[in-house]
Structure formats: C-alpha cells, structure tokens
Structure 1
Amino acid sequence: MTTPHVDPQLGREESDAAERRLLHTAATGTPVDLRTGDARLDDPANAAAWAAERTVRAGVLIDLLTGERAPDGGRLRAVKLRGARVTGELDLEAVELACPLLLADCRFEQPVNLREASAPAIRLPGCHLPGLNADQLRTVGDLNLDGLVSEGAVTLRGARIGGSLSLKAARLNGPGAYALRAEALTVAESMWCRDGFTAVGEIHMPGARIGGRLSFVGAELSNPGGRALTGDGLTVEQNMTCRNGFTTEGEVRLPGAHLGRLSFIGARLSNPGGDALMADGLTVKQNLDGRDGFTVEGEVRLVGARIGGWLSLTGATLTNPGGCALRLDRVTVDQSLDCDQTFVAEGEVQLTGARIGGQLTLDGARLTNPGGIALLADSLTVERGMSCRNGFTALGEVRMLSARIGEVFSLEGATISNPGGRALYAFRLTVENDLYMRGGFTAEGEVQLSGARIGGLLHLAGSVLSAPGGQALDFEGGRAIALLLLPRERPDGVVNLTNAQVGIFEDDERTWPATVRLHGFVYNALANDTVDVRARLRWLTRHPGGYVPHIYDQLAAAYRRAGREDAARQVALAKQWRRRRVLGPSGKLANWLLYLTVGYGYRTWLAAVWLAGLLALGTWVFTDAHPHELTRVDAHAPGFNALGYTLDVLLPIVDLGQQKAWQAHGAAMYWSWALTAAGWVLTTAVVAGLTGILKRD
C-alpha cells in the first residue's frame, strides 16, 4: 500500500485558513469549531488522522494572547477554538491574558505551560496533552479542565483560581508519580473531580484551600503501594464528597485537614496492610458520613480528629486482618458515633481516649480480631449511652479500662468470644445509669468488672458466662445500686464479688456458680425471698478458703434489716458452728460445749435446761449417796438436803452451807467435782452469751 502524496504547501495553506478564521473571530469571541461531526474521528485520541486543515500553530495562539498579533476587526475579546491539533509548545509562562481562553477537544503535541500566567478564565475541556504546568496560575474566573486527558502530571502548585476548578471526567496519568500536583492551591469556589474523573498516580494537594465544595463523586484514584490522595492541611469550607462509586488504590491522606463535611457513602478505599485513610488531627465542622456500603481494605485512622456533628459508619465494612481496622484514639465527636446494623470490622477497633458527645451505637456490629483485642476503648467517654445490642458480636477481647458511659450501657443479646482470655475487660468502668448484660448476653472468657461504678442496675438476667478454670465474672471492689445475678445457666467459672457493694442483690439458687468469692461483699437487701435460710447458708459455703466471719455477718445483717430476726439468728449460729473448723482441738471442744450449752449465746435458755437437768441428776445422786458417802463435818451444821447440796456444788456463786457442812467420799466426791465443773462451764457460757462475747469474731 502506497502512502498518498500530500502537498506540504497545500497543508500549510489549509492550516493558515484555520488560523485566519481564529484571527477573524477573536475580536467577537465567536468559537472556531474544526470538528467534522463524526464523534469517533473528532476524538482527540485520533488526532493523528485529522486533516491538515485542523492544525493550528501554538505560536499563533501565543501571539494573539500576548497582544503580539491583533485580531481582525479590533480589540481581542476571547480566543475560542475547538477540535484543533495544536503544534509546537503553547508556552504562556508569566503572560497576562487579556481575554478568556477556550481550547476544547484539542490535541497538543507538547505540554502546555501556564506557569505564573494570569487570565480572566481558562477552559481546556476535552483536550489531550502530554502535561500541563499551571503553577502560580491566577484566574479571575474558572479553570475548566473537564474531560482533560493528560499523559503527564498536571501541576497547579500555588495557583489561585477565582472561580471554580473543574476536572469532571478528566483522566490524569502519572503512573508511579504525580497525576495532579496542587500544593497550596486556592480555589475561591468549588473543585469538581467527579463524573468519571480518574487519576493514575498521586493527587497531591497539601495545604490547598477550597472555598466551596470538593467533589470526588464517582472518581477513581489509583496509585497502588503509594498515596492516592494527599491532602495534609487541606481546607474545604463546605463539603468534601467522596461517594457513590469513589474508589482508591493507595493511601488517602487528610491529616490536619479542615472540612465542612466529609462523606464516604458507598466509597471503596484499598491499601491492604497500610493506611487506607489517614486523617490524624482532622477537623470536620459538621458530619463525617461513611454509611451504606463504605468499604475499606487497610486501616482507617482518625487519631485526634474532631467531628462537630456525628460520625456514622453504619453498614460499613473495614478489613485489615491482624492489624487495626479503625483507629479513633482521642477523637472527639460532638454528637453521636454510629457503627451499627451491618458494620463489620476485621481487625482491631480503637477508641482509646475518645470522647463522644452523644450516643455510641454498635447494635448489630461484628468486630473480628480472634486472639487479640476486638475493641480497645480505654478512657473512652460517652456523654450519653452506649448500645451494643441486636446481635452485636466481638471475636476477641472488648477492653474498656476506666471508660465512662454517661447513661445506660447495654450489651443485651451481645456475644463476646475470647476463650481462655478476657471477653470483657472493663476495670474501673463507670456507668452513670444501668449496665445491661441480659437477654442472652454471652461471654466466652472472663467478664472483668473489678472496680466498676454502676449508678443503677448491673443486670445479668438470662446471660451465659463461661470461663472454664477462670473467673466467669469478676466484680471485685465494684459498686452498683443493684446486682441482678440471674444467668440463664450456672456460670462456668468463678464469680468474684470480693469487696463489692450493692444496694440490692438478687440471684437464683438454680444458677449459683460452683465457687463464688464473697469476702467483703456488702449488700443491703436480698431481693429473692424464695431462697430459704438453709439454702443461703449453703450459698455461703461456696466461698473458697474456709471460714470467713464477714460473709455470715453480712447475711445476718441483711435478714435483720428485713425484719427476719429468726433467720438472722440461724445465720449467726451457723457462723459459730462453721468457725470450729479453724480451731484447734481444745477450741473445737469449747465450741461444742458452747453450742450445746447456750447456742453460742443465741440460745441462752439452753443453760436453764441444762441447769434443771443437772439439778435433777445431782439431787438423785446425792439422795442415794446419803448418808454412807456423805459425812457431817460440823456438828452444828444444818441437816443434809440433796437439792441444796446440788445447788451449792453446781453454782459457784451460791452458798447454802451444804457443801461446807458435808464431806463427800467415794463416788459422791467424783460426782461433786463433775457438777462443780459443769457449773463453771454453764456460768461462763451464760455470762459470755449475755455480754455478747460469743458473738464476736
């Protein structure tokens, strides 16, 4: 196939014709349209096939725009050209354009240079070019780059756009480098990177300032292994919108940015193993919205960020296995934080030191970090309530050391699974109102609430607690208005209530744990009256470590406050009975004697029974022994009286003269010694019982 011969002179003449048209229309601002009407042929990507008559030299444009060449018919009004192939370099560096410039659907052979230029407005929609340098560009009106295709970087460093900057449907290519470089860019109105905008390479705009909106709706940014968008210190007075199909491959950086609102609804950010969104110190005046299909591979990091409205991640999916999926340490949200419904986080969620001005909602959320921490919220402050209900699931530890919840904290129906470790670690947690772990709340691993302060109820009705070989519930040193320990089944593990204090304690005999630590446990009232005293005493024996006086005193005091004196005495007797286990042999004997004689001081009437019995026994013995085993000592002594002699022998404080008058021999002597000893034991026991000595530890 032979190449047709084209007369160079003819091509030059055809080109001159296009340039003459441009010179003629510049005075009126009428566009020169060189397109054929064939969309495929008119695409600047096919400019190599364009006829010579569609060629315009860059020098002609430069001469017009710099005033070197005057347009036909007078003063320059506007330069408008469409569908041309521009040859040579369009170099307008430091040029002050006297009129607006519109170059639409043109193909440039060389990069365009607008560095330090100034113009009323510049529009390059649909143009294809090797690159664009517009550093320090100044425009009074808009800079329109809609549909621009650049095979090299577009640079706008320090540019000041008096109107809007539009890059709708633009395609910027700078693989491994910058696609758009715009440090300290200022746009008085809005910046549009939407409607099919794509960038291969980094969008780099730290310190930029946008007076209206910054829109990336539907945009695609790709710089795998690098930064897709860099906006350190970026300021957007109104909304920054990255939604409805916005996708990135590479890191999105917004540290220290100041935004009116920020939306990631339906966006997809991908930077596996790294930061997908890094926005430490971010300030959003109103809301940050990441709902409805917001999907992230990599870490979302907002350390120290401040959100003036609410932060919503409802229905979002954050994936960073083995790392941190969401880092909100020291974040401040003036209203609510919502991570509910189908919110999924694969990797750790961190809220250390965060402050939420409204509600924190995790209803239905699924946090997954097996063998590690699923939720880290040490020193978290929530001014209102925290809700983890409706199927909330955490595979890994939920840790909330010294967290504070201003109203109700609900874990109703939640599941926390960390077998062999701590399921919920909330040492020194403060909940101003109720803490609900009821309605099917399930914990595989220890529930650690030691030192917690609960302003209302600690409610465990219908819960399932499992920590085999460990502590199923640790409430040591905790405080609550009421503790409702009513699990669905017997806790598998120890329940530790050491030094806890509650106003009301309600439990169920059917679900008592095998071991419950009760030392120092204080409660004002027992709410379950169906548990009788004997069962309560069996409950006390589940405390390990042997005899502890306090747990009996506490139970007796609770019965006494309820007006159940008989029950209180039963507990007090059981306390002394159990005490014998810690005594030595002599102590055990004394304990038995005191129990039998005066019921440890709580049944002093037993002494009268023993006294009557011993009197009857002594009277019978000494009646039988007189006179052959009883000899008169004093001839002037009264006659023998068996009852009087028994009283003299039995009661050390009684002197009827019988024992002095009659000397016992043989068996009668041994009986007198035995009754004297019994009398001393009875007297001592009665005195101890009446003075309360036996009731002391």
Structure 2
Amino acid sequence: MDLTDLTPAERRVRDAFPLGEGVDLRAVDDDPERGADWGPERTVRAEFLRELLLAGPLAEGRTAGLKVAGARVTGRLDLKYATVTCAVRLRGCHFEQAPDLYGARTGALVLSDSVLPGLTAGQLRADGVVRITCCRVRGPVRLQGSRLSGALFANGAWLGTPGEDPEEAVLQLNHAQVATDVWAPGLVAHGTVQLNGAVVGGQVNLDDAVLDAPGGTALHAEVLAVGTDLHAMRLRARGRVNLSGARIPRQLNLAYARLSNPGGVALRASSAVVGELWLREAAPVEGAVNLRRAQLDLLHVPPRVWPGKVQLDGLAYRVLTPHLPAEQRLPLLEREPDGGYLPHPYEQLTAAYRTVGDDGAARTVQLAKLRRHRRTLPAYARLWGCLQDAAVGYGFRPMRAGLWLLLLLCTGTLVFALHHPPALKPSEAPAFNPLFYTLDLLLPIIDFGQEGAYAPRGGFQWLSYLLIAMGWVLATTIAAGVTRSLNRQ
C-alpha cells in the first residue's frame, strides 16, 4: 500500500491496525449527522478499509484489529462474501454509502453511534457481537439469515425516517440465528421490525422501544423462537404486533405497553406457545386482539386492557390473574368479532377458576355459558331454557327450586284453608288438609290421597291446574340440575 496516497487519517489507521490499537478522530461536541462536512483529517476511504481488512499488515505477537472512532467513510465498504479474521469497530462514524457485508464472515462488528444510509449484512457470519447501538440508519438494516455467535445490540438505535412509508422492513432479522440475546431497549423504528422465523438463544428485549408503522405491521415475529423471554415493557407500537406461532417459554412481558392499530388487529399471538403473557398496567388496546389456539400457562390481563374485539376460540391457559369475580371477566367472552357463540372460552374460564379453587365463580361462568347458548336456540327451546333458568338457574342455583316450591306451597295452603274444595264422595273422603292437598298437587310422584278425593271449582280449579303444572316444571328442572351437578362432579 502506497503511503503517499493516504490521507492523514488513513495513515493513523494503517499504523494502528496491526497493533490492534484504536484511532480516535472525534472532536468535542461531535455529531456524526454532520459528518459530511468533516475534512481530510477525518476522512477514510471505504476502499482503503477493505484492503486493510483483507490484506493489511500484521505484527508478530499482536492481534490486528480495526478500531476507528469519528471518521467520515467515503464510498461503499464492500465486504460482500469476504472473510475478515479480525474485529471491525467503527464507532461514531459517518458513512456516505450503506456498507455491504452480505455473506461475509467477520469477528465482532461494532458500528455504535454511527450514521448510515443503510446496512446490508444478510447471511452474515459473525464470531462475536454485532452492535448498532445508538446508530441512526435511514435505510433498512438487512440481517436476514445471519448467524451471530454473540448478541445483537440495537439499544437506542434510530431506524428509518419519520413520516415516510418504507418499502421494506427497517430491521430485518427474519430467519436469523442469534446465540444469545437481541438487546434493543429504547429502539426507535419508523417502519417494520422483522423477526419471522428467527431463533434467539436468550431473550429479546424491546423495553421502552417505539415501533411506528401506522396501518401496517410494527413487529412481525411469526414463528419466532426465543430461549427465555420477550420483554417489551413500556413498548409503544403503532401498527400490528404479530407473534403468531411464536415460542416463548417464559415471559411475554407487555406491562405498561401501548398497542394501537385502530380498525385492525393490534396484537396477534394465535397458535403461540407462551409461558406467561403479561399486560399488567398496560393502556387499553386500540384494535382487536387475536389469541386463537394460543397456549399459555399464565395470563395476566386486567379487564380494562381488553379491546372491543377479542378472538379467544381455542385459547388455553392454566392460571388467570389478577383473581377477580367472574362477573368482571364474563363480558370479554362476548367480544368475538362475528358475535357468535363459542363454548370453549367459557369452559376455559371455568377451568381457570377451578384451578384456584373458586367453585362459586366457576358455576357463575357455566350459568352464563348456558344463558349465552340459549340465545342461539329456537323460540320454544328459549322458553324452556328461561323456565329452567328462573326455576333453578340451570341447576347451578338449586336453592331457587326450594324457594319456588315453598312459595307455591304457602300460597296453595292459605287459599285452600280459606276455601275448602268439595269432596267427590263425602262419605269416603279423608279429612281435608290444605297443606297435604297442596303437596299432592305440587309433587307428581307423591300421593297423600287428597288430590283424588277433592275437586275445586271455578278459579280454584285453575289454581290447582297451575300448581300441578308448576310442580311438573320444577320436578323436571330439579332432576336436570341434579343430573348436571352429578356429571360435573
């Protein structure tokens, strides 16, 4: 390499490279956004960096490395399919063109605090961490299919341009494999963040992130697999958060989050398998929620967080927190978008209450299920259901039957005590007893010999017919309730 062709900054970088030492070109109050104005003393050509990384000088007993801070990089850093054996650290730099590392093999790749028009690094193989911490990247960051033996750090990064509708995702990690974590608290993305089919050995951290894709998909993470958690506390997402088919063995933590996609689906986690889903202290969701066929161990969602449209068919969970009366949970089960009746959400809520030993709440849910089902039946079936509900609460309120029977018994006894019905055969009839006469009318399978011996007339005859009919209805509903109770046990 001819030293006469190098800028002052390049000379310093070349001398430091074989020794693995750093070159800091930064000034006080430096801002890489204004890097286009930096002069030759801070300018490094991309072609020079490429030649240095692929065929730079080495020093015996030292580990070479590119460590530059505060440089203006002109041209395109083209390392496509290249093999770079050392670490690449370009901090606080201003790149005129998007670096191309597609299919490259590198050690650590650190671009923290830099300004870039984009980054192409699909199929990258990195033997260390990849850092875009606090970077400002106007175009897409393409890391699809990459294999990282360390973590990806994107905390505080600013991706995309506010107000623009990018043609592709601003962060592309679909089908990537990250051995440890995707660490991106405070990430600001004006466009879609893609994690479709990605495999992360540790956790994904999106705490305090702002994902802004109004009318589109803010987080696209179908079939994402993480080793531990997905933390997104205080997440602000405008657009759909799509976690369909994701595998998150511990927590999907959306506490204090704000999810907004009016007129569309704000949160989709259908067919996902999650240890715990937390929406504690989250703002009410703006848009629909789809949890169909998801499997959860714990679901922590206060009732006020749920939106007007929720899809829960096939959702399975073991524990529901916070523990609240059934009356506060039941309205959620009628928020299916099509308004149809689905029995499974009622059965699942019943099972959750029984898991914590609240049998009273479980019975309330089952009663609500039967009442909801009644609205789908023909008129005659609805009438019969109303009678069962009023009489014994479909068997879940058995004390009602006793109260009805006691009320009818008292009414009949009082009326017939004041107005004795005439005997059919006075010489053979037993002494009239209004209490047992009323019991004979009410209880269809018991005969005290009073009903067949006396025949009321006029309005009292109609009263006897009413008592007989009510006795049959009560007896039938009690039998149905007892049968249902025994089946439950």
Compute the TM-score of the two structures, normalised by the length of structure 1.
0.59
2:283 is paired with a residue of what secondary structure?
Answer: coil
Distance 2:90 2:42 in 1: 11
| Alignment partner of 1:383 is 2:171 | no
1:582 is paired with a residue of what secondary structure?
Answer: coil
| Alignment partner of 1:573 is 2:372 | no
- What letter is aligned with 1:566? G
Determine the structure 1 residue equivalent to 2:476: 684
Distance 2:401 2:302 in 1: 39
Quote how far apart the aligned CAs of 1:252 are. Answer: 6.6
Determine the structure 2 residue equivalent to 1:311: 109
* Residues 338/415 of structure 1: CA separation in 2 closer, same or farther (3 Å cut): same
| Alignment partner of 1:374 is 2:190 | no
1:384 is paired with a residue of what secondary structure?
Answer: coil
| Alignment partner of 1:408 is 2:203 | yes
* Residues 470/194 of structure 1: CA separation in 2 closer, same or farther (3 Å cut): closer
Quote how far apart the aligned CAs of 1:580 are. Answer: 3.1
8 Å CA contact 2:42, 2:72 repeated in 1: no
Of 298, 319, 329, the residue aligned with 1:536 is 329
1:687 is paired with a residue of what secondary structure?
Answer: helix
8 Å CA contact 2:421, 2:454 repeated in 1: no
Distance 1:333 1:480 in 2: 29
- What letter is aligned with 1:344? R
8 Å CA contact 2:19, 2:64 repeated in 1: no
- What letter is aligned with 2:207? E
Determine the structure 1 residue equivalent to 2:91: 292
Distance 1:352 1:637 in 2: 96
1:353 is paired with a residue of what secondary structure?
Answer: coil
Of 435, 441, 448, the residue aligned with 2:235 is 441
Determine the structure 1 residue equivalent to 2:435: 643
CA deviations on 1:450-475 (whole Å, 9 max, x unpaired) are: 21111111111121211111122112
| Alignment partner of 1:361 is 2:129 | no
Larger Rg: 1
CA deviations on 1:348-389 (whole Å, 9 max, x unpaired) are: 111111111111110111111632311121111111111111
Quote how far apart the aligned CAs of 1:268 are. Answer: 4.2
Distance 2:260 2:10 in 1: 53
Determine the structure 1 residue equivalent to 2:81: 281
Determine the structure 1 residue equivalent to 2:43: 245
Q: How does 1:87-486 map to 2 (within 5 A)?
A: 166-170=1-5, 195=11, 245-248=43-46, 263=66, 265-266=68-69, 268-271=72-75, 276-287=76-87, 289-307=88-106, 309-319=107-117, 325-341=118-134, 343-368=135-160, 370-372=164-166, 373-389=169-185, 391-438=186-233, 440-486=234-280
Quote how far apart the aligned CAs of 1:665 are. Answer: 4.5
- What letter is aligned with 1:326? L
1:578 is paired with a residue of what secondary structure?
Answer: helix
Contiguous gaps of at least 5 residues in structure 1: 1-165, 172-192, 198-211, 219-242, 320-324
Quote how far apart the aligned CAs of 1:194 are. Answer: 5.8
Quote how far apart the aligned CAs of 1:292 are. Answer: 1.7
Distance 1:441 1:284 in 2: 37
* Residues 377/248 of structure 1: CA separation in 2 closer, same or farther (3 Å cut): closer
- What letter is aligned with 2:393? G
8 Å CA contact 1:384, 1:408 repeated in 2: yes
| Alignment partner of 1:518 is 2:344 | no
8 Å CA contact 2:44, 2:74 repeated in 1: no
Compute the TM-score of the two structures, normalised by the length of structure 2.
0.82
2:96 is paired with a residue of what secondary structure?
Answer: strand
* Residues 306/654 of structure 1: CA separation in 2 closer, same or farther (3 Å cut): same
Quote how far apart the aligned CAs of 1:625 are. Answer: 5.2
1:358 is paired with a residue of what secondary structure?
Answer: coil
Distance 1:377 1:429 in 2: 10
- What letter is aligned with 2:376? V
Quote how far apart the aligned CAs of 1:213 are. Answer: 6.7
Determine the structure 2 residue equivalent to 1:594: 388
Distance 2:52 2:413 in 1: 104
Distance 2:52 2:380 in 1: 79
Distance 1:196 1:548 in 2: 71
2:354 is paired with a residue of what secondary structure?
Answer: helix
Quote how far apart the aligned CAs of 1:313 are. Answer: 1.7
8 Å CA contact 2:43, 2:74 repeated in 1: no
Quote how far apart the aligned CAs of 1:264 are. Answer: 7.2
Distance 2:364 2:421 in 1: 48
Distance 2:410 2:190 in 1: 76
- What letter is aligned with 2:437? Y
Distance 1:316 1:403 in 2: 26
CA deviations on 1:594-638 (whole Å, 9 max, x unpaired) are: 12111121111221221222222333444455344x523x96554
Distance 1:332 1:248 in 2: 21
- What letter is aligned with 1:357? S
- What letter is aligned with 2:480? A
8 Å CA contact 2:160, 2:170 repeated in 1: yes
* Residues 512/313 of structure 1: CA separation in 2 closer, same or farther (3 Å cut): same
* Residues 261/665 of structure 1: CA separation in 2 closer, same or farther (3 Å cut): farther
CA deviations on 1:331-350 (whole Å, 9 max, x unpaired) are: 22222111113x12211111
Quote how far apart the aligned CAs of 1:169 are. Answer: 0.9
8 Å CA contact 2:227, 2:249 repeated in 1: yes
1:424 is paired with a residue of what secondary structure?
Answer: strand
2:296 is paired with a residue of what secondary structure?
Answer: strand
Distance 1:586 1:278 in 2: 78
Quote how far apart the aligned CAs of 1:541 are. Answer: 4.1
8 Å CA contact 1:318, 1:344 repeated in 2: yes
1:692 is paired with a residue of what secondary structure?
Answer: helix
CA deviations on 1:629-655 (whole Å, 9 max, x unpaired) are: x523x9655454433333333222223
- What letter is aligned with 2:364? Q
Distance 1:301 1:622 in 2: 100
8 Å CA contact 2:421, 2:457 repeated in 1: no
CA deviations on 1:286-315 (whole Å, 9 max, x unpaired) are: 42x1422333333322222222x3222222
Root mean square deviation, CA, Å: 3.4
